[in-house]
Amino acid sequence: MTLEQIGDWFGGGTPNTGLAEYWEGGTIPWFSPKDMKCLRLTEAEDNITERATQQTNVKPFPKGVVLTVVRSGILSRTLPVGVSEVVGTMNQDLKGIHPLPGIEPYFIAYQLMSQERAILDRCCKDGTTVASIDVRRFRSYTVAIAPTEEQRRIVAKIEELFSDLDAGVAALERVRSNLKRYRATVLKAAVEGKLTEDWRAQHPDTEPASVLLERILTQRSRQWEKDQLAKFAQVGKQPRDQNWKLKYELPPKLDNGVEHREPLPKSWTWATIGQLYEVKYGLSEPLSKQAPDSPDDIPVLRIANVTEYGSLNIDQLKYFPVPRKDRPKLLLNKGDLLFNWRNAPNLIGKTAVFDIEGEYVNASFLLRLRPPLPSLDGRFSWIVLNLLRLRGYFSLIANAAVNQSNFNASRTSTVEMPLPPLAEQIQISAEVDRRLSIVDEIEAQVEANVKRGTRLRQGILKRAFEGRLVPQDPTDKPAEELLEHIRQQRLAATPADNCSPRTGQRRRPRKGGSTLSLFPEGNPDRE
């Protein structure tokens, strides 16, 4: 049967939102696409009043109506379907089908879900601003009708198997959550020095981090002086006195007023990002090229290339022309950190270590943190910054601005971090990588099984509507008898027993006394 033939159709609309008497204190669910997140619909985010149903064309529909989204951007990806278990109303972006007696609503709903891709391919409108279903084509879409008792057995078996799948997926999600907590626990133990307690006991003579920090600051100052003298020489000048050295900007120091710093191991110290790294912005030009088309084009790493857990994904790159003469000051070096300083608050501080081969530059929303000397292990700094992000440190103190947050270069430079001796940094990084590699393997297995669950769900639906999920019972009345019974009921129906599929209002029988033609002439779905 076509969807038009299986039952009465309902449409909806939106009562005037400016009239409080249509909305305030409403008790009648008013379904819209935002409510179509599950199969069993028992409530809507919005409710309308009885007056709204009396004074507008938005009329209630009975329980057991199969609701489908027919206009929404989500139709470009999926076809939301639900069954209302309450009397309700709907807006203009939904259509409802109330199956005739003998046709189970969930049998139709599951069948629509099983044929989601075919329905979208066949019934979606072309050239519309918002993805939409052509209702005329949708109404003519053919579905299979089994004997009533078999419909019920099929629905019961689907729900039994789906319940098992849901339990399995829920268990996988618990594993995923536990792994996320474990990941944060590993990073926390690393930053507190707990992962290397035995190592420190075996290496008591390691140079303290305070000496390392002093050496970094001294050598940074000397490098700056060397660069300035080179600039003087480039223009053929010599400094007349030592006043030029006063232009050196000291890195931000620790805030002496902070009292909440956690105690560190004896050989560790506190430092700021600005003391340890040169913090620079990336390219601010628009990134319009999807592929290189000139010798100057170079790949640009963006926020999207930094994954949730701080690795680099270069599957999708954009390109920008950077002349050879300008590249030395822009190219990323191995060991540089890429720090996301602007985006949604929960993404501020997402950091990756640049460790891939080839020439790359970074986009403007990724700060480049470059160690001035090979005296830092970038992986340890990555551990600290990602732990701060997981703790919500950056999102709490970032400047909120139109759904985005800012944590600019100056503010990033003042972020404080614990600093172990260099040898211990390397040891910590190795231990964290060992533990997180195990987590990564388990997460990959979890993700594979979640995807497998989705495939199994579709496989169950496919078998169900091929007639292979439950055994047939020879004592069931054949579907042909059900269809003939429906036809006879329709032929004998009075006008009050029929509803307009467009408005949901009662309608008169068609010419000839029937409101239903089981196989209309010229129907392309006729089998």
Q: What does the DSSP assignment read for 224-291?
A: HHHHHHHHHHHTT---SSSGGGGGPPPPPPP-TT---PPP--TT-EEEEHHHH-EEE--B-S---BSS
> What's the whole-model pTM score?
0.74
State pLDDT tens for residues 129-144.
Answer: 899 999 999 999 999 9
Distance of CA 363 to the CA centre of its chain: 22
Q: State the pLDDT confidence band at 309, using cuts at 50, 70 and 90.
A: confident
Fold of 209-420: Adenine-n6-DNA-methyltransferase TaqI; Chain A, domain 2 (3.90.220)
Give 367's contacts (C-beta < 8 A, 6+ positions apart): 279, 280, 281, 282, 338, 339, 340, 341, 409, 412
Cα–Cα distance measured from residue 16 to residue 4, given in angstroms and rounded to the nearest whole number: 30
CA 450 → CA 167, 170, 173, distances in Å?
Answer: 11, 10, 9
Q: State the pLDDT confidence band at 293, using cuts at 50, 70 and 90.
A: confident
CA 183 → CA 180, 188, 311, 312, 345, distances in Å?
Answer: 5, 9, 14, 18, 20
Q: Average pLDDT of 248-273?
A: 84
Q: What number of other Cβ atoms are within 10 A of residue 276's Cβ? A: 24
Q: What number of other Cβ atoms are within 10 A of residue 407's Cβ? A: 23
pLDDT of 407 > 70? The answer is: yes
Q: What is the pLDDT of residue 137?
A: 96
Cα–Cα distance measured from residue 162 to residue 156, given in angstroms and rounded to the nearest whole number: 10
Q: What is the pLDDT of residue 522?
A: 37
Q: Percentage of the chain with pLDDT > 90?
A: 67
Q: What is the pLDDT of residue 226?
A: 92
Find the helix or strand (DSSP H, E) in which 11 lies: none
Q: What is the pLDDT of residue 501?
A: 44
Q: 28 versus 252: which is more confidently predicted?
A: 28
pLDDT of 365 > 70? The answer is: yes
Q: 275 versus 503: which is more confidently predicted?
A: 275
Q: What is the pLDDT of residue 371?
A: 86
The SS3 of residue 134 is coil
Mean pLDDT of all residues in the chain? 88
Q: State the pLDDT confidence band at 288, using cuts at 50, 70 and 90.
A: low
- Residue 418: name the closest of 303, 275, 242, 238 by CA: 275
3-state percent helix, strand, coil for the chain, nearest multiple of 5: 40, 15, 40
At the second CATH level, the architecture of 1-146+477-527 is Alpha-Beta Complex (3.90)
Q: Average pLDDT of 502-506?
A: 44
Q: 514 versus 198: which is more confidently predicted?
A: 198
Considering 185-199, 286-300, 329-343, the range whose residues carry the highest mean pLDDT is 185-199
pLDDT of 346 > 60? The answer is: yes
Q: State the pLDDT confidence band at 527, using cuts at 50, 70 and 90.
A: very low
pLDDT of 500 > 70? The answer is: no
